[in-house]
Chains A and B, each alone.
Chain A
């Protein structure tokens, strides 16, 4: 009953309730601005991201702090940090969406199959998920990324490989309880096949959960990409990513702190935005949570 309402909740009311939360609105604004900046990057950046400027370094060859000409200062090679940052948003969002999309797809498929088809298939899938839960995820990602000479797509794939596990667990539990609900049992006794039950009756009820975990997952993905790139095994320079900007410049963090803290703040703000929206979505979409606010 409650899940039914959640599944068919009118999009407008979800939006309306989401927009009543200041933190969620702030998160949405950050996400929209970042997406716009990433899409419009070639037109709105003051300089090309890879161009090294003669006047971008001091006479001693040190990067320039933020000033009128270079708003966020320049990096060690005399490139404009603001321009690199805006193009870096493309990297973060692209990997965030692609890697998280793959992770949700894998996690949801495994979770649904294991939760619906109990017995052998379900047991094998869930034992495999348990096993992956015990894997030190970041270590695994670093090993994979370090040895595959990562392109953007490999980084996305590596992140997806370690991030599907949690979604699989959540979807598994939810599918299992849905499969025992009266309306599914009734449908089955009327002779409906598994395919029909899964697509018509189970999947629609999983939409709220999938939406919440997809949003929260982008935050995790953005953080993991930044960490891999910071270690030098993620997105490779000269393609700018917020993580590798810090990787390239970190040895000078005490004399040129803006090169670490401006991209660092960008990572935190974007990850925070997705977390805030995801958390608000969870409250808004989950009927059992209502009344708490």
Chain B
């Protein structure tokens, strides 16, 4: 077990290292020139060259990368070209908003998905089951910006229950979290349904029933907890999907997280910020997968680490 963890940690580190290499080369190869962006249209060739030199962008690629990696090892994500601030500081200031949104989204997708899956499994084969599974398919087939704008239109513009955008209050969180949660609910409801069907077939459920326990006790005391456990482990994997969603959802709702930060940086070719957000997202994805791998065997001892 400890050996496995060490190996997985090393593997994760390698993946992150690989991500820095690929991102660096990719951004280096892009046709857009960040120096032109910084210098502005009217800059002379000399100014452009001096800025290029200042930023170290005239060095060969491997030297630029070496500098970047060296900084990274010291916790330095570089400096934004345009905002004249450390990337780490920028990301750090935006991270709480994104984490809050993530917690909200996970709460929504679990609440929606597990409930839908539970009812579908209990009424297996009925019209309710088919209806719920169709909804779960719509969940994974709906682009997040459409869901977001729809929720805004109905609940903010028409009904006025929630503010249109903004940040800082619980009511600001509801719609963006629901938007992100709707997609996840699609996956979770399908997983919960099959997990629940599986559990209901098990001997211990039959035993509990034959002991004369009430239907509710059997369900909520025995079946549901066991059905939920393997799904909880999936939350780690979910982080990847989530990281992809934040750019869109944060831009629809004007949510001040790292998704917006990245989106603005992309439009202005502010490469250090793009690198930073990519790396932080990758770190979250890698950690999420690691967590899922480590939690699963704790929950289900039949699964062995290897």
Residues of A participating in the B interface, judged by any CB pair closer than 8 Å = 23, 127-128, 130-131, 133-140, 142-144, 146-148, 219, 223, 226-227, 230-231, 243, 246, 250, 253-254, 257, 260-261, 264, 267-268, 271-272, 275-276, 279
Binds A, one of B40-48, B223-231, B241-249: B241-249
A136 and B142 in contact, given A231-B248, A254-B157, A260-B149 (Cβ under 8 angstroms): no
Chain B residues within 8 Å of A223, by CB:
141, 143
Report the Cα distance A158→B184, complex, angstroms: 25
Q: Judge whether B91 is part of the interface by a CB distance below 8 angstroms.
A: no
The reply to whether A271 and B269 contact each other, CB–CB distance below 8 Å, is: no
Q: Judge whether B150 is part of the interface by a CB distance below 8 angstroms.
A: yes
Q: Which of A139, A250, A254, A260 has the most CB of B within 10 A?
A: A139
The reply to whether B137 and A227 contact each other, CB–CB distance below 8 Å, is: no
The reply to whether B19 and A147 contact each other, CB–CB distance below 8 Å, is: no
Chain A residues within 8 Å of B64, by CB:
none
- The contact of A135 among B142, B266, B282, by CB within 8 Å, is B282
The reply to whether A134 and B244 contact each other, CB–CB distance below 8 Å, is: no
Q: Judge whether B251 is part of the interface by a CB distance below 8 angstroms.
A: yes
Q: Judge whether B173 is part of the interface by a CB distance below 8 angstroms.
A: no
- The contact of A136 among B11, B30, B140, B281, by CB within 8 Å, is B281
Chain B residues within 8 Å of A267, by CB:
142-143, 146
The reply to whether A253 and B269 contact each other, CB–CB distance below 8 Å, is: no
A264 and B134 in contact, given A231-B248, A253-B153 (Cβ under 8 angstroms): no
A219 and B143 in contact, given A135-B282, A138-B244, A142-B266 (Cβ under 8 angstroms): no
Q: Judge whether B262 is part of the interface by a CB distance below 8 angstroms.
A: yes
- The contact of A143 among B15, B143, B274, by CB within 8 Å, is B274
Q: How far is the CB of A61 from chain B (nearest CB, A)?
A: 21
A135 and B19 in contact, given A148-B31, A231-B251, A272-B137 (Cβ under 8 angstroms): yes
Q: A138-B247, A261-B149 are in contact. List 20 more A-B contacts (CB 8 A).
A: A131-B19, A133-B285, A134-B285, A137-B244, A139-B278, A139-B281, A143-B26, A148-B31, A227-B143, A227-B248, A230-B248, A231-B263, A246-B145, A246-B149, A250-B149, A253-B153, A254-B157, A260-B153, A261-B153, A264-B149
Question: B150-169: which residues lie under 8 A (CB-CB) from chain A?
Answer: 150, 152-153, 157
Q: Which of B30, B134, B143 has the most CB of A within 10 A?
A: B143
Interface of A is mostly: helix
Interface of B is mostly: helix
Chain A residues within 8 Å of B138, by CB:
268, 272
Q: How far is the CB of A4 from chain B (nearest CB, A)?
A: 27
Report the Cα distance A138→B143, complex, angstroms: 12
Chain A residues within 8 Å of B26, by CB:
140, 143-144
Q: How far is the CB of B273 from chain A (nearest CB, A)?
A: 11
Chain A residues within 8 Å of B11, by CB:
130
Q: How far is the CB of B252 from chain A (nearest CB, A)?
A: 9
Chain A residues within 8 Å of B30, by CB:
143, 147-148
The reply to whether A147 and B31 contact each other, CB–CB distance below 8 Å, is: yes
Q: How far is the CB of A240 from chain B (nearest CB, A)?
A: 17
Q: How far is the CB of A62 from chain B (nearest CB, A)?
A: 16
Report the Cα distance A131→B262, complex, angstroms: 21
